[in-house]
Amino acid sequence: MSTPLTTMLENQLTTTWGITNSYSDAPMLMSGYTGRLWLYDSHPQFWSKHQVWEWLQQVMDMYQIDASTIPFQHFDMDGHQLCSLTYQDFNRAAGSMGPTLFHSITELKLGGPCHVEIGQQDLKPELDFSCPYPNISSASEENCDYVIHPLPPAASPAPSRPGIKKSCSRAHPKKHSPRGTHLWEFIRDILLTPERNPGLIKWEDRTAGVFRFLKSEAVAQLWGRKKNNSSMTYEKLSRAMRYYYKREILERVDGRRLVYKFGRNAKGWKESEK
């Protein structure tokens, strides 16, 4: 029997976002959490506001950027408006992250819909970044100083770079992100960034650091997406969370399901630390 997880997750997300946000593109959104990234099922031109924000979130994830770096309110627009922004507009809206965002959206605009399944083996050659925007008038030659430097492999949040070799016996793609993207930090960042937290986790006691998973499987899938591990489940995630008890990054909260508390070794969650 397969995919109960998928069904569960879709139900969770549908429930949350259906109620709170009423996204008309929810079905497409759903598919992204079940093996590929939903954003790339459609051209950026057709993205909703929420999809624009999801794209921003993914770029931040890729670059390990603090969420506060990009003012989300400057991107309160749909895909059509986003695609009409110039390089200068991106610089004005996102400051130092402007070029990165511009590069990402331009690549997506040029690439169009992308349906790369995780684990897919037929690879396209890496993009030649030496001339990345052949059709974009706003990225004319005089503006090209910002595009000649190749971005790292995961520069644009392209879905699951399929070039990953599978050498491990469990047939999973590369799993570990570079140090600095620890699970507890991922959880903390969701809690601290309401734009990224559509009802997934909520504070139970903000000052004490107590929080509760509202959509446990959805959080696990987001964590799995971050780690390129489509088989992540809440059961596995919670095992990793329990290892934090010994290290005092988390403290036990007895008798309450899905409830955790930040411990003395967890940093950056307190309002006074922000």
Partner DNA sequence: TCGGTATTTCCTGATT
Partner DNA sequence: TAATCAGGAAATACCG
Q: Return residues touching DNA (CB under 7 A).
A: 4, 8, 167-170, 172, 174-179, 182-184, 213, 216-217, 223, 227, 229, 231-232, 234-240, 242-243, 245, 247, 252, 254-255, 257-259
Q: Which residues of 18-43 are buried (b: 16+ CB within 10 A; e: fewer)?
A: eeeeebeebebbbebbbbbbbbbbbe
Does residue 162 contact residue 119 with C-beta atoms inside 8 Å? yes
d(CA 240, CA 27): 30
Q: How far is the CB of 231 from DNA (least distance, A)?
A: 5
Q: How far is the CB of 30 from DNA (least distance, A)?
A: 18
Q: Is the CB of 53 or the CB of 184 nearer to DNA?
A: 184
Q: How far is the CB of 246 from DNA (least distance, A)?
A: 8
Q: Is the CB of 23 or the CB of 269 nearer to DNA?
A: 269
Cα 124 to its chain centre, rounded Å, is: 23
Surface-to-core class of residue 54, CB atoms within 10 Å of its CB (0-12 exposed, 13-18 middle, 19+ buried): buried
Q: Is the CB of 134 or the CB of 178 nearer to DNA?
A: 178
Q: How far is the CB of 262 from DNA (least distance, A)?
A: 14
Q: Is the CB of 49 or the CB of 161 nearer to DNA?
A: 161
Q: Is the CB of 75 or the CB of 211 nearer to DNA?
A: 211
Does residue 69 contact residue 60 with C-beta atoms inside 8 Å? yes
Q: Is the CB of 13 or the CB of 139 nearer to DNA?
A: 13
d(CA 69, CA 271): 17
Cα 270 to its chain centre, rounded Å, is: 23
Beta bridge partners of residue 211, listed in sequence order: 203, 260
Tokens of 247: 């290290």
Q: How far is the CB of 204 from DNA (least distance, A)?
A: 12
165-172 own/partner pairs: CB under 8 Å, 24+ apart: 166/119, 172/229, 172/231
Q: How far is the CB of 174 from DNA (least distance, A)?
A: 4
What SS3 state is found at 169?
coil
